[in-house]
């Protein structure tokens, strides 16, 4: 971390941590604090991020052995806001750890380079992590397109891994049970004991799989209740009556990224509609259709809504999830906003995986490339120099592993980039 005698450098370093893709925030934080708190590994653990609850940096071999259960245990043993230097079971063994549990319930774990060293400046570390934790929570709550794309990719990979592991272990245990139940075995008591133990292990495995998958999901009615409370706080001084229509109970829960996106897009629509001073009534509804979640926000007002501007605000998030957005405003009658969010991701073409490697600015450049714009026009649209655009285009081509602007544009269109204005 920069010397505290240079507050400008310190704040600039912190800004770099907060400004960038969420999935890489642990690496940026690790780089910032490495001098003052030397460590071999860093873990940020948060239930806020449904797809990737662990943000990690450092010793890959060690980090691959760290489990969610271990992090939960560390968190349970800590008082919020009170950093500690203690010994915890992490990565399969007891080891010295510097840990901070933020009042928001987010956890920071550092594995110190010198295990016998106490935690230096615990108050400063807690304050610094508090700012980072707040930034993470805000990014998740706003459900930016970058966050949604990264979260969806992580959630899919996590689900595939859980399913593959569970299937492999289940096959092993079922085979073992079949053997143990064989009448050819002589030691009845041994067979019964082994059968009971294996049956218990099989039940535990299936329960663990269901529990792990449930951690990244939200029941639709519960997710809507969170939205209801957020909207009430947001509009506590608004006089127009507000009607909330919660989704009926459904067997299928909402993926975490869908729940966050639905709340963020609903809030965006509500803010746009309540800007009308003559708003007479507002209705907010979610409908769970099994394979989709339909967000429906409508009002009774003048209908003087900038529908195109609101559509642009919503489209970035929608594109990241393959959702459709419709905004309609009828003067003298009112406005109506609908967002249809598919719960399942589109078929994996390999393109989205590459697109998630692009940062926010590179994705903006790619979208403009897909519209057929040249460097000069892109520079004007983004308010940067042509040389900056050339730099971003080069980075985009490299990250997408293509050789020409046309190939990059084709990939963007394949992934659903908004190319309606393409010349």
What would the DSSP string read from start to end of 77-88?
TS-TT--EEEEE
| pLDDT tens string 312-335 | 888 878 887 888 999 999 998 999
| pLDDT tens string 172-227 | 666 666 666 666 656 666 666 666 666 666 665 555 555 455 556 788 998 999 99
Same-domain status, 335 and 363: no
Same-domain status, 246 and 338: yes
Burial class (CB in 10 A: 0-12, 13-18, 19+), 26: buried
The number of C-alpha atoms within 13 Å of 251 and in the hemisphere containing its C-beta is 2
The count of residues in the chain is 423
Burial class (CB in 10 A: 0-12, 13-18, 19+), 106: buried
* C-alpha–C-alpha distance, residues 93 and 72, integer Å: 15
Residue 408 belongs to domain spanning = 351-414
Same-domain status, 395 and 304: no
In this predicted structure, the answer to whether residue 419 has a pLDDT above a threshold of 50 is no
CB 163 within 8 A of CB 332: no
| Single residue among 114, 142, 170 that ends a domain in this structure | 142
Taking phi first (over 0 means left), then psi (-120 to 50 degrees means alpha), and beta for anything else, what does residue 211 get? alpha
Domain membership of residue 421 (yes or no) is: no
Distance from CA of residue 310 to its chain's centroid? 23
Average pLDDT of 265-288? 92
Same-domain status, 44 and 136: yes
Provide the percentage of residues in the chain whose pLDDT is more than 70.
74
In this predicted structure, the answer to whether residue 298 has a pLDDT above a threshold of 90 is yes
Distance from CA of residue 397 to its chain's centroid? 26
Token readout for 263 is 């709340």
Task: Output b/e per residue, 208-247; b: 16+ Cβ within 10 A.
Answer: ebeebbeebbbbbeebbeebeebbeeeeeeeebebeeebb
Same-domain status, 248 and 361: no
Domain membership of residue 47 (yes or no) is: yes
> Which distant-in-sequence residues (6+ apart) come within 8 Å of 285 by Cβ?
244, 245, 295, 296, 297
In this predicted structure, the answer to whether residue 356 has a pLDDT above a threshold of 80 is no
pLDDT value for 422:
32
Same-domain status, 194 and 238: no
Average pLDDT of 25-41? 93
Count of domains for the chain = 4
* C-alpha–C-alpha distance, residues 107 and 94, integer Å: 18
Record the pTM.
0.52
- Nearest Cα neighbor of 367 from 403, 328, 326, 320 is 320
| Single residue among 116, 142, 168 that ends a domain in this structure | 142
Taking phi first (over 0 means left), then psi (-120 to 50 degrees means alpha), and beta for anything else, what does residue 303 get? left
Which position has the higher pLDDT, 344 or 201? 344
| Single residue among 180, 195, 215 that ends a domain in this structure | 215
Domain membership of residue 325 (yes or no) is: yes
CB 203 within 8 A of CB 240: no
Domain membership of residue 312 (yes or no) is: yes
* C-alpha–C-alpha distance, residues 255 and 227, integer Å: 15
């Amino acid at each position: 971390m920069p010397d505290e005698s240079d507050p400008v450098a310190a704040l600039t370093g912190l800004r770099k941590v907060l400004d960038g893709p969420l999935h890489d925030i642990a690496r940026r934080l690790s780089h910032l604090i490495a001098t003052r708190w030397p460590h071999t590994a860093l873990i940020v653990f948060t239930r806020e991020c449904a797809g990737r609850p662990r943000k990690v940096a450092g010793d890959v071999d060690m980090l691959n052995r760290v489990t969610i259960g271990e992090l939960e245990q560390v968190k349970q043993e800590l008082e919020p806001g009170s950093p500690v230097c203690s010994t915890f079971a992490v990565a399969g063994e007891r080891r010295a750890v510097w840990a901070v549990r933020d009042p928001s319930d987010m956890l920071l774990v550092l594995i110190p380079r010198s295990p016998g060293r106490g935690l230096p400046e615990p108050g400063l570390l807690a304050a610094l992590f508090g700012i980072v934790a707040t930034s993470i929570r805000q990014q998740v709550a706003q459900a930016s397109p970058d966050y949604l794309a990264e979260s969806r990719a992580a959630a899919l990979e996590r689900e595939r891994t859980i399913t593959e592991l569970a299937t492999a272990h289940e096959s092993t245990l079922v085979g073992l049970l079949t053997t143990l139940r064989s009448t050819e075995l002589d030691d009845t008591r041994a067979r019964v004991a082994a059968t009971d133990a294996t049956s218990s292990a099989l039940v535990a495995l299936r329960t663990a799989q269901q529990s792990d998958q449930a951690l990244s999901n939200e029941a639709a009615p519960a997710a809507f209740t969170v939205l209801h409370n957020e909207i009430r706080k947001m509009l506590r001084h608004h006089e127009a009556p507000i009607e909330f229509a919660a989704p009926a109970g459904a067997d299928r829960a909402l993926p975490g990224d869908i729940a966050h996106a639905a709340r963020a897009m609903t809030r965006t629509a509500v803010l746009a509609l309540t800007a009308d001073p003559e708003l007479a009534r507002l209705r907010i509804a979610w409908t769970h259709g099994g394979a989709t979640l339909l967000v429906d926000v409508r009002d009774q007002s003048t209908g003087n809504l900038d529908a195109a501007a609101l559509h642009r605000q919503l489209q970035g998030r929608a594109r990241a999830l393959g959702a459709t957005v419709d905004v309609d405003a009828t003067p003298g009658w009112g406005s109506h906003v609908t967002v249809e969010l598919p719960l399942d991701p589109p078929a994996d073409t390999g393109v989205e995986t590459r697109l998630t490697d692009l940062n926010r600015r590179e994705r903006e450049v790619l979208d403009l490339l897909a519209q057929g714009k040249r460097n000069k026009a892109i520079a004007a649209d983004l308010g940067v120099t042509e040389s900056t655009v050339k730099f971003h285009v080069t980075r985009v081509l490299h990250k997408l592993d293509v050789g020409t602007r046309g190939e990059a544009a084709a990939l963007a269109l394949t992934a659903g980039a908004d190319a309606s204005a393409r010349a």
